[in-house]
Amino acid sequence: MGTRERNIEINMDKQSFEELFRSFFPSLVLFAQKYVPDQDTAKEIVHNVFINLWEKRQQVDSGSPLKSYLFTSVHNRCLNYIRDQKKFDKDDTIFQRLDSTDFSDGVDRLEEQELEQRIYDALQSLPEKCREIFMMNRFDGLKYAEIAEKLGISVKTVETQMSKALKILREKLIDYLGMIILFILTHLN
Amino acid sequence: MSGGKMDKRDQNIDIELIVRHLSGESSASEEKELKRWLAADPKNSGLLNQYRRVWEKLGKIKSVAGIDLDAEWNILESRMEKSGKIVSLQPGLKRSAAYYLGRIAIAAMLAVILTFSGIYVVNRYGYKTLATMDQPEEIVLPDGSRVTMNHFSSLKYPRKFTGEIRKIELEGEGFFEVESDPVHPFVINTRDVDIKVLGTSFNVNAYSENAAVEVTVKTGEVAVTRHGEVPRTIVLKPGNRGVYKKSEETLEITQDIDKNYLAWKTKSFVFEDQTLLDVSQQLNKVYQAEIFIDSDSLKDARITTTFDNQSLDAIINVLSATLDLDVRTSNGQIILSETN
């Protein structure tokens, strides 16, 4: 937490590398998924970026922010992947995908990515049991009763944990939600 | 104070109803109730919309929310080893996903008994867990020690202390008044640090979402030990605070303690030449309120005053009279601005 903007250290040890990987992997995969068709490909690309960073960790320019290095690398590898695919793929839907991802929307994408990172971090900050219950409902679509049965707890507990989760998430994201309102207003004028 | 409590309970019903609505759990009659509630006050819609936005935004990360970071790291690590450039370092003692799943499974085996706003969980090994929701609660442990628990905190303790140490587990924040028993030290386990005492009173703030764990001693002596491969212990005396910073894994002693660190329990505040912004943030934490200041110059207005166990309404009245503020409420928020 709070160390996202640090610069690359010349002698990155394995522990700080792991920390870096854990904090950025999910949002980099999410980012790659906007370019490539499936999550496995997205994961593979992000893994390759990290392997590459690890192998040349002593040559990376220590002045460039690590975060933008990672996102730029993933972006470039996604474009390479789409180009390679195009050679084998007569269907040009993928090529259209490439066209629609030119650099003009780069800024929006970074803002969007910032938001996604915050949402992901907010979700991770929930107490474990609370997060588990919340994800079962929000992402797996399970009913309260189904969750209660699976975990062997009462429906009432599921309900209070759901409320707790949403309360915490709202608290963590409220600053950002304020920003959205401002954004919409300024664009209406 | 009773008026404030009533509001709080109404608000809870609202949140449960909202969450049921968003998660597709609400019945037809609850949907009607929600509509009536929305119609009752325009600020209610604002609140619903905030929750709805949070709910919808979460959909954006659905595809990665379930990623198993431990498994992904293992894949990368084995590739790193193959790349042959790795300088072998000692493996970190990370808790695996299986560990957490195990904990969830254990939690699932517990029987649940509801009491007041807190939840009591009694498991078959003779442990009890008290979990508070949005009201602090006080309990007396089997040895006579008293614990006041802050919002959304939980405490696991045995029905009866046996063995050499009196051991309990804390998530969140609590103020402890420990019965003296030099033969049986009292040990509090938190996720990052252990706290050992003989008989004393002190506050532990160990919410897992916070960046640091803070232990503040009122009377007696307290030892705090950091977990990890190289444990480190500090001893705190009255007026000391031990701070464990999670990101840096540092454990240090400071005497720089905010006067109002116990305000969540006492509802007593001492403000000395503090900014209105600072004051509002402290009130927000203690009263679980949302006070906003609508003007930058107002945020820096200085305040020197004390409050002793007063309701939030009463405090806001004093502030607005002193600083000549305009107070309005909107979407459950209290907005302070300058009078025109």
Rounded mean pLDDT, B261-269 = 92
| Closest Cβ–Cβ partner in A30, A128, A162 for B63 | A30
First to last CA, chain B: 31
Q: Which of B67, B86, B246 sits opposite A26 (nearest CB)?
A: B67
Task: Note the pLDDT of residue A71.
Answer: 82
Residues across chain A = 189
Closest Cα in chain B, distance from residue A50 (Å): 8
The predicted structure's pLDDT at residue A97: 42
Mean pLDDT rounded to a whole number for chain B: 79
Domain boundaries, chain B: 2-55, 105-254, 263-338
Same domain, A81 and A8: yes
Residue A23 has a pLDDT of: 84
pLDDT band at A12 (very low <50, low <70, confident <90, very high): low
Using the Cβ of B124 and the Cβ atoms of chain A, whether some distance falls under 8 Å is answered with no
Reference B314, options B55, B1, B22; nearest CA is B1
Q: Minimal CA–CA distance to A130: which of A154, A158, A111, A151? A: A158
Q: Chain A within 8 Å of B22 (Cβ-Cβ)?
A: yes
Residues contacting B102, CB < 8 A, separation 6+: none
Query: What pLDDT, on the 0 to 100 scale, is given for residue B158?
Result: 86
| pLDDT tens sequence across B77-110 | 888 877 644 333 333 333 445 544 544 444 444 3
In this model, does residue A93 exceed pLDDT 70? Answer: no
pLDDT at res. B125: 47
Residue B331: which pLDDT band, with cuts at 50, 70 and 90? low
Strand stretches in chain B, DSSP E: 111-115, 118-122, 127-131, 137-140, 146-149, 154-158, 166-177, 186-189, 193-197, 201-206, 212-219, 222-226, 232-236, 241-245, 250-254, 268-275, 291-293, 302-308, 325-330, 333-338
Contact assessment for residue B119 and residue B131, using Cβ atoms and an 8 Å cutoff = yes
The confidence band for B195, taking pLDDT boundaries of 50, 70 and 90, is: very high
Does B246 score more than 80 pLDDT? yes
pLDDT for res B148: 93
3-state secondary structure of A16: helix
Position B229 pLDDT exceeds 90: no
Highest mean pLDDT among A44-48, A50-54, A72-76, B197-201 belongs to A44-48
B89 interface with A at CB cutoff 8 Å:
yes
Contact A13 B50 (CB under 8 A): no
Interface test with A, best of B209, B247, B248, B291 (most A CBs within 10 A): B209
Q: Which residues contact B154 (CB under 8 A, 6 or more apart)?
A: B129, B130, B131, B132, B170, B171, B172
CB contact under 8 Å between A163 and B65, yes or no, is no
Q: Which of A93, A52, A55, A97 is nearest to A78 (CA)?
A: A97
Top mean-pLDDT range of A169-173, B38-42, B213-217: B213-217
Contacting B residues, span 179-208, partner chain A, CB-CB under 8 Å: 208
Q: Give percent of chain B above pLDDT 90.
A: 21
Query: What CATH number is given to the structural domain containing A170?
Result: 1.10.10.10
Say if residue A89 is in the same domain as residue A4.
yes
Domain that holds residue A53: 1-102
Number of domains in chain A: 2
Q: Which is nearest to B29 in space by CA: B40, B47, B39, B17?
A: B17
> Which segment, A58-62, B141-145, B170-174, B285-289, is predicted with the most confidence on average?
B141-145
**Does residue A107 lie in a domain region?**
no
Q: Is the pLDDT of residue B12 over 60?
A: no
What are the structure tokens assigned to B147, written together? 């614990």
Residue B54 near chain A (CB below 8 Å): yes
CATH of B263-338, one of 3.90.950.10, 1.10.10.10, 3.40.50.150, 3.55.50.30: 3.55.50.30
In terms of residues, how long is chain B?
Answer: 340
Return phi, psi of residue B29, to 5°: -70, -30
Provide the shortest C-alpha distance from residue A23 to chain B (in Å): 9
Alpha helices in B179-247 (DSSP H): none
Contact A177/B55, CB-based, under 8 Å? Answer: no
Chain B CB contacts of A55 under 8 Å are 83, 85
A51 and A89 share one domain? yes
User: Rounded distance, CA A106 to CA A61, Å?
Assistant: 22
Same domain, A59 and A135: no
pLDDT of residue A183: 40
Mean pLDDT of B138-154: 88
Residue A7 lies in a domain: yes
Cβ distance B15 to A163 less than 8 Å, yes or no, reads: yes
Q: What is the mean pLDDT of chain A?
A: 74
Residue B326 has pLDDT above 80, yes or no: yes
Cβ contact, residue pair B152, A180, below 8 Å: no
**Residue A102: what pLDDT?**
39
Q: What are the chain A neighbours of B12 within 8 Å (beta carbons)?
A: 163
Cβ pair A26:B211 closer than 8 A: no
In the numeric block, the tokens 């305009």 are attached to B326
| pLDDT bracket for residue B253 (50, 70, 90) | very high
We report the CATH number of the domain holding residue A35 as 1.10.1740.10
> Tens digits of per-residue pLDDT, A45-67?
999 999 888 887 755 554 556 77
Per the domain annotation, does A156 fall within a domain? yes
> Are residues B83 and A39, on separate chains, in Cβ contact within 8 Å?
no
What does the pLDDT read at residue B187? 92
Higher pLDDT, B49 or B158: B158
Q: Which of A139, A175, A184 best probes binding to B when mutated, by most B CB atoms within 10 angstroms?
A: A139
- What pLDDT is attached to residue B103? 47
Burial grade of B80 (CB within 10 A; 0-12, 13-18, 19 or more) = buried
Mutate to test the interface with A, among B47, B50, B61 (most CBs of A within 10 A): B61
Joined tokens for residue B16: 């449960």
Instruction: Please indicate, yes or no, if residue A82 is contained in any of the structural domains.
Output: yes
Tell me if the domain spanning B105-254 has CATH number 2.40.50.140: no
Q: Is B92 on the interface with A (CB under 8 A)?
A: yes
Does residue A144 fall inside a structural domain? yes
Question: Number of Cβ pairs closer than 8 Å across A and B?
Answer: 150
Minimal CA separation from B239 to chain A, in Å? 29
Give contacts of B66 with chain A, Cβ < 8 Å.
Answer: 135, 139
